[in-house]
Structure 1
Amino acid sequence: MTTADPRTDLCRALQDARESVLWKLDGLTERDVRRPLTPTGTNLLGLVKHLAGVELLYLGWVFDRHCAEPVPWFRPDLGPAGLEPNSDLWATAEESRAYIVDTYRMAWRHADATVAALPLDAVGRVPWWPGQAGAAGLHRVLVHMIAETERHADHADIVRELLDGSVGHRPGAERLPAGDEQWWAQCRDRVAAAAEQC
């Protein structure tokens, strides 16, 4: 559903993606939300932690709107050399699920306040973006943030499927063909057979 107001549509799309990411944690143990299930260590809680920092960065720091609440892993002032590589993509034993989820929700509030306070053509500075010294309008940054969140929602969907077979965008909206376990096994076998013929 779209409205006549692009800001409302953009905010709705971002919120929908945010909620999809958090839904992937539901019903899992502390171990499972932290388990790395890819060779690069992708895990559900790390994706949430990363997205909290990304929201604070793109919809805060880029527009010179700094968050009053300290977030230990969010230090754009240090630059990449000041942080351990990938430190925002996994949770330490001391960082609880509740803490990371609460931090993500706090980042939403901060980001939403930025979007509410500025016109869509407000210009921020994204130094690592090429062209015009990294100048970027809020509209463009919001589109980027939606794409970033959806990208990681897709990662979360795959990680969750690897954990317990759960799939979908949200409860009741799996967006997949209806099929039982046998149907999906046959589907997978057909895909594998086609790959072997190449």
Structure 2
Amino acid sequence: MPGFAPPVADERSALTAYLAHQRRALQVTAHGLTDAQARLTPSAGELSIGGLIKHAARCETFWTGLVLQEQRGPQRQADESDADEFRLGPDETLAEVLAAYAEAAARTDAVIAGIPDLGQAVPVPQGLPWFPAEVGAWSVRWVLLHLIEETARHGGHADVIRESVDGATLYPLLAAAEAWPDPWFRPWEPASASAAGR
């Protein structure tokens, strides 16, 4: 992924390209991390990179389900707390949540590709305080914009967390993950590899 979204020809390609770009930026914050590092919560809150990716996958699954009218509101297991959605559990791996995110993203992309009109109505779940009671429906277009917003917000969280874990930032991580040529960005290396190269 280059540092910018690709050129776009129309509204649909703009929305899907920017969503894909934000997804990739979130995913790359996990590049080179161990499961233990992906569980770290080095900021004042309880967010971890693994937990943010897990949440982003659930977010896409939720909103795609609303678009398809498969569900009417947030779904949660009886024994699951709000914090669990943002935490990489001891029995979960980073590879698993990255795979779940890729699967959720592919499903979203397939669903959006099959909808001819981005103005198609998406019913607003009722009875939940964070959804506006006076709005009966959003559009698929609105859902895509919201997914871009949500993914970008959590990508920013993940940037801060990753820098707190080992000092890595987005462009050196992208350079490492995608083998960008020097000299613009020195690709990120694990601390032990950096020390060995000196």
Task: Tell whether the structures are fold-level matches, with TM greater than 0.5.
Answer: yes
Q: After TM superposition, give the deviation of residue 134 of structure 1 in Å.
A: 4.0
Contact map agreement 1:63 1:123 (CA 8 A) in 2: no
Secondary structure of residue in 2 paired with 1:166: coil
Q: Report 1:163-178 matches (<5 A).
A: 163-168=165-170, 171-172=174-175
Number of the residue aligned with 1:84: 81
Q: Report 1:17-28 matches (<5 A).
A: 17-28=22-33
1:137 aligns with one of 139, 153, 162 = 139
Is 1:41 matched with 2:46?
A: yes
Contact map agreement 1:60 1:111 (CA 8 A) in 2: no
**Any unmatched runs of 5+ in structure 1?**
67-74, 173-177, 179-198
Contact map agreement 1:55 1:145 (CA 8 A) in 2: yes
In 2, the alpha carbon distance for the partners of 1:43 and 1:18 equals: 16
Number of the residue aligned with 2:112: 115
Contact map agreement 1:24 1:156 (CA 8 A) in 2: yes
Structure 1 runs of 4+ off > 2 angstroms? 1-4, 59-63, 75-79, 131-134, 168-172
Number of the residue aligned with 1:151: 153
In 1, the alpha carbon distance for the partners of 2:111 and 2:134 equals: 22
In 2, the alpha carbon distance for the partners of 1:78 and 1:46 equals: 15
1:43-71, Cα deviation, whole Å (9 max, x unpaired):
100000000000011122343157xxxxx
**Structure 1-normalised TM-score?**
0.75
Q: After TM superposition, give the deviation of residue 131 of structure 1 in Å.
A: 5.0
Q: Bigger CA drift: 93-102 or 144-153?
A: 93-102
**Structure 2-normalised TM-score?**
0.75
Q: Percent identity?
A: 30
1:31 aligns with one of 36, 57, 62 = 36
Contact map agreement 1:63 1:125 (CA 8 A) in 2: no
Q: After TM superposition, give the deviation of residue 4 of structure 1 in Å.
A: 3.2
In 2, the alpha carbon distance for the partners of 1:114 and 1:53 equals: 16
Contact map agreement 1:60 1:110 (CA 8 A) in 2: no
In 2, the alpha carbon distance for the partners of 1:78 and 1:157 equals: 27
The structure with the largest helix share of the pair is 1
Number of the residue aligned with 1:102: 99
